[in-house]
Amino acid sequence: MAQKQGEHQISFGMAQPSSSSIHPNFMISKESNGAYDLGELDQALFLYLDAQEQRASGELMPETLNIFPSQPMHEEPSMKSSKSASDPQASSEIANDVKPLVKRKNITSSSDHEGPKTPDPKTLRRLAQNREAARKSRLRKKAYVQQLECSRIKLAQIEQELQRSRAQGLFFGAEGLIGEHGLHPGFGNLSSDPAMFDMEYARWLEEHHRRMCELRAAVDEHMQENELQIYVGHCLAHYDEVMNLKNIAIKTDVFHLLSGVWMAPAERCFMWLGGFRPSKIIKIIMSNLEPLTEQQLIQIYNLQQMAQENEEALSQGLESLQQSLSNTILSEALSFPSNMADYMDQMAMAMNKLSSLETFVKQADSLRQQTLHRLNQILTSRQMARCLLIIAEYFHRLRALSSLWLSRPRQE
């Protein structure tokens, strides 16, 4: 028994590795700054301790080497570690297996310190496409938000008008005087054509806003002149549509158009014969449009002068018509009619004078239409696009002002 203990102590003493014997078996690599990797020293220490424990327990080791154990080595030592401790050749094999892993780690760590690689042209092109798609998405979101804001303002305006009508107990619609329980007694069946015009004009405004958003996005994307001209042409054609709508409504009820009840309250302050003054629009454009050439300035100035002359002529004609109509109504034949025939003749004359109001409104709309198309001939496609956006923004602010005016707090 003593002899076995002595042999065991001798073998144990022979198995004690010195600092010099650990170095050749476990090739511990250094970092670039000369310091040893503490993780590798811990791994070597665990391998040595596991070998001693397995040797003491006398377990056998399989012939395969499990470099990446499924569990930590310090918790459940593998049988390979036992063989490596009892067999110097196995220890050498473990060291040789660990060496490539350490070298690979050093290569990976050294590559992390290298600078970023320059992306290839394909990657740069893909990044540029992603940025462009993100920019277009932001523009679409902005246009959608603006559309929602316009719809909110319009709904608020309608709600205010309905509340005011309910407070009065009557609804003054385009079809006539309507009570809470139907048509007011004595008014009979009234025409619904003005109401149809109001509905069509509301739809026109929604479509106009959508087209203006598309035009603004096209301008922001810096499209070519020929591409912008397509958008400009669509917007001008849309203006022609509202002129046709008004032309139909004139034949039904010209006073409905002249009253301006289909417009926002603030718009009525600047209304002239059922619409805007062309000379006023040109003045707004000139103060907000980008720098123009000398020839363009001359042409636009002449257009403004022509618009003002036509406006004055129409205004004077309307004033003369009003004076003539007043004289007809105040004539003695109507005040003291000698017979019914004279009375009817005078009323027929007044009716004819009233019908000439349709001609004045048609000529005013024609002047507005010609002014827009003439501006399109003078300006470039990009300038005309900005011109249409300026006009749209002007009327949009007037409608927003009207909504704020209707929703203002009122004192009892």
Residue recorded with tokens 């026109």: 204
Identify whether residues 93 and 150 lie together within a single domain.
Answer: no
**Domain for residue 120, yes or no?**
no
At 344, list the tokens: 């009817």
Residues 19 and 155 in one domain: no
Residue 172 is assigned to a structural domain of this protein? yes
**Judgement on whether residues 79 and 221 belong to the same structural domain of the protein:** no
Q: CA 206 to CA 241: how far, in whole Å?
A: 13
Rounded Cα distance between 11 and 3, Å, is 12
Claim to verify: residue 283 and residue 393 sit in the same structural domain = yes
- 141 plus 101 within the same structural domain: no
The Cα 236–Cα 285 span in angstroms is 16
* Confidence (pLDDT) at 249: 92
pLDDT in tens, 286-310: 888 878 999 999 999 999 999 999 9
Q: Give which of 73, 92, 74 is closest to 83, Cα–Cα.
A: 92
Q: Name the pTM for this structure.
A: 0.55
Write the pLDDT tens digit of every residue in 195-204: 889 999 999 9
> Which of 77, 35, 18 minimizes the C-alpha distance to 52?
77
Cα–Cα dist 209/389, whole Å: 10
Residue 411 covered by a domain: no
Q: Are residues 27 and 151 in the same domain?
A: no
Q: Angle CA(403)–CA(405)–CA(407) in degrees, nearest 5?
A: 70
User: Could you give the number of structural domains in the chain?
Assistant: 2
The answer to whether the beta carbons of residues 196 and 258 sit under 8 Å apart is no
For residue range 343-379, what is the model confidence (pLDDT) as tens digits? 788 888 889 888 899 999 999 999 999 999 999 999 9
Tell me whether residue 121 is in a domain: no
pLDDT above 70 coverage of the chain, percent: 61
- Taking the C-alpha atoms of residue 64 and residue 62, their distance in angstroms, rounded to an integer, is 6
Cα separation, 305 vs 279, in Å, equals 8
Strand partners for 176: 173
**What does the alpha-carbon distance between residue 409 and residue 412 come to, in Å, rounded to a whole number?**
10
Domain-terminating residue out of 110, 145, 170: 110
Domain annotation covers residue 369: yes
Instruction: Report how far residue 3's alpha carbon sits from residue 5's, in angstroms, rounded to the nearest whole number.
Output: 5
Strands in 170-173's sheet, in edge-to-edge order, are 170-173, 176-179, 182-183
Alpha helix locations (H) across 187-293?
193-220, 225-252, 254-259, 265-268, 278-288
Contact 311, 360 (CB under 8 A): no
Same domain for 38 and 165?
no
Q: 53 lies in which domain range?
A: 2-110
Amino acid at 104: R
Q: What is the pLDDT of residue 151?
A: 75
Copy the structure tokens of residue 44: 């070597």
Q: Which helix (H) or strand (E) holds 298?
A: helix 294-329
Query: Does residue 64 lie within any of the structural domains?
Result: yes
Both 57 and 193 in one domain: the answer is no
Flag the least confident range among 59-63, 114-118, 274-278, 345-349.
Answer: 59-63
Structure tokens, 408: 């203002």
Q: Give me the pLDDT at residue 79, please.
A: 46
Q: Please indicate, yes or no, whether residues 263 and 367 belong to a single structural domain of this protein.
A: yes
Decide if 98 is inside a domain. yes
Element (H, E) at 178: strand 176-179
